[in-house]
A and B are shown apart, each in its own frame.
Chain A
Amino acid sequence: MAVTREDLVSAFRELILTTANRIPADVYEAIRDADMSEDNPLAKAQLGAILRNMELACKRGRPICQDTGTPYLFLEIGDGFPLRSQVIEAFKDAIRSVTREGVLRPNAVDPLYARNSGDNTGRYIPWIHVDLVPGDRVDVKFMLKGGGSEAPSRLVMTPPLKGWSKLKEAVIRAVAEYGPLPCPPLIVGVAVAAGGDIALSLAKKSLFRPIGVRNSDPKAARLEEELYKALNKLGVGPHGFGGKYTVLDVKFDYAYRHPASFAIGVVTSCWATRRATMTIESSGEWRITSKHLYPSNGSCVTG
């Protein structure tokens, strides 16, 4: 049996539904831990509401947030996978059908003609990045990225001599200046590269690394830890009510830069960071490889 177009569409439908309705296990656990250690009563009220919201979305099979975001898709397609050229079209079919059913809010707007396409597809949307890799399966990373939490995101081009101090300053300012608006506690992605586009793209992709998992390079890991601690000194807190948790984590990635350039990309993601990963085999079998919150006997468990 070889994979069919229908297999791809049903796999992607499940991927999109899981992403919109089931919070990743690491995000749920980070909010739960924050709630347990927080003692500011207003921050705690917000964290408690966020937890109840995640659990209700899970039990009712409903979107975690009414802003179901912009779809970002990162594909690693094996060169032996039978339907290479149909993967993207199958994904578009899936997102159109899920939007038609009222699970996703139509969020794709033509900027020139101020028209909403109504189905979450349009010019360059979903935003898709494809890598061709050896093997015969497809590995998928998918994110529904909230609109409000894009607001603090920024690109800073700086002379290399000032690079690292400018990077730290840019991260702190991005989070401090926007306060409650991007729905903290946030996950912050940061990257350094030769060009602005590379830096922002890597910063966005770094958000897929689960909370608490550090960059494998020890220097990069120390930078993540330093920025995480510094950001949590700001006291923005859940929805701006103060307390210990302005961010849940910081992720850093990099590309080799040009001798003359040091591009810094900063991307922020709200507490409702919605992402999932999936593997599709050449036989058509597929499975969701990320852990999420699932209903179980009237309550919720991660798995």
Chain B
Amino acid sequence: MSGREYRLRTPLSVGDVERLRVGDIVYLSGLIFTARDEAHKKILEEIESGRELPFNPEGLALYHCGPVARRLDGGWEIIAAGPTTSMRMESVEAEFIEKTGVRMIIGKGGMGERTADAMRRHKAVYTVFTGGAGALAAEAIKRVIDVYWLEELGIPEAVWLLEVEDFGPLIVTIDTTGRNYYEGRRREVLRRAEEVISELASKKLP
């Protein structure tokens, strides 16, 4: 695990993400957008029916997040914005990457083989932001550029286009070679669990 640090700015190029490897740490500036379950469906439906999206997602980072947001005079304030569990989006993410051209996905808990394969083919990376760190994420969000489908989807499910500054640490767990860090970690932890269980079984009971 390298632990090398990068400071990147969106829009990300193929070159920007191709040099990243599993274990690298990224601090991201520029534009990112949020999408959870319903927003993935919505964006894919819009593209499918040939409608133009209200913003250009190409080269941006997609953030799996449903923020707590408060309306201010003439705008919005993001109160807390930690990541949500990414695996819920696994069934649609490969298609989403292909159709939108996002170069980075930010979430928590990792994603599966279909997403890793799409990232290898279309050159994108998956990064983890600290689960639960809603205040730290909110601090990195400098401005709400816009919010889309708010009426239809509600605050947590709507698509928020956000300007961020040094958002991170984001740890790369799927890179453009398709390597998927959490897959190996999971096997390793389950192997150790069996060892620990048999060790405990040999000990005297309380």
Q: Is A148 on the interface with B (CB-CB < 8 A)?
A: yes
Closest to A165 in B: B201
Please report whether the interface of chain B is mostly helix, strand, loop or mixed according to DSSP: mixed
B1 x A41 contact (CB < 8 A): yes
Q: Is A172 on the interface with B (CB-CB < 8 A)?
A: yes
Closest to A176 in B: B193
A62 x B108 contact (CB < 8 A): no
B136 x A176 contact (CB < 8 A): no
A-B interface pairs (CB < 8 A), number: 157
Residue among A40, A45, A236 making CB contact with B25, cutoff 8 Å: A45
Closest to A105 in B: B68
B186 x A179 contact (CB < 8 A): yes
Interface size on A (CB < 8 Å)?
56
Q: Bound complex: CA of A239 vs CA of B186, how far in Å? A: 12
Q: Which of A139-194 contact B (CB under 8 A)?
A: 146, 148, 164-165, 168-169, 172-173, 176-177, 179-181, 183
Q: Is A242 on the interface with B (CB-CB < 8 A)?
A: yes
Q: Which of B118-136 contact A (CB under 8 A)?
A: 128, 130-136
Q: Is A78 on the interface with B (CB-CB < 8 A)?
A: no
> Which of the candidate stretches B41-49, B77-85, B94-102 sits at the interface with the other chain?
B77-85
A177-B190, A183-B132 known; 16 other A-B pairs, CB under 8 Å?
A: A42-B23, A52-B133, A53-B134, A65-B133, A67-B134, A102-B68, A105-B68, A146-B132, A165-B201, A219-B206, A226-B203, A230-B196, A233-B196, A235-B188, A241-B185, A272-B132
- A interface vs B, CB < 8 Å? 40-42, 45-46, 48-50, 52-54, 56-57, 60, 62-68, 102, 105, 146, 148, 164-165, 168-169, 172-173, 176-177, 179-181, 183, 219-220, 222-223, 226, 230-231, 233-236, 238-242, 270-272
